[in-house]
Amino acid sequence: MTKTAEKKSNPRLTALIVTLKDASRVNEAKIWREIARRLDAPRKNYAEVNLSKIDRYAQEGETILVPGKVLGSGALTLPVKIAALDFSEAAVSKITGANGTCMTIEDLVRDNPTGSRVRILR
């Protein structure tokens, strides 16, 4: 465990960082090491992404990964899978309203251990 992960008070976050690093080693997937590095940083550096940005950069059916929180500002017109550390209530309702899927980063690592075809937005 890294020095920053040891200082984190959220046990879910500490476990997630360890899981990501393990998945990176086992599956030779550099994406998980990068996400672990971003989540190991101070919380003020976490991404906060609005749905309008996701709608602008995502393509239909794509998997989007936000190493932080997804916020509900803007509209989402595409059915996409979005994995994030956290979602606002407005974001969840708009994502499901667009036939999209909200998932945790842990779910994404379990469902896609190689991290292939995942776009990171920050």
45-77 pLDDT per residue, tens: 999 999 999 999 999 999 999 999 999 999 999
pLDDT score of 3 more than 60: no
Instruction: State how many domains the chain has.
Output: 1
pLDDT score of 79 more than 60: yes
Residue-level pLDDT at 7: 77
| CATH code at position 75 | 3.100.10.10
In this prediction the pTM is 0.91
- What is d(CA 83, CA 31) in angstroms, rounded to the nearest whole number? 13
- What is d(CA 2, CA 97) in angstroms, rounded to the nearest whole number? 39
Could you list the residue range(s) of the whole structural domain that residue 95 is in? 3-120
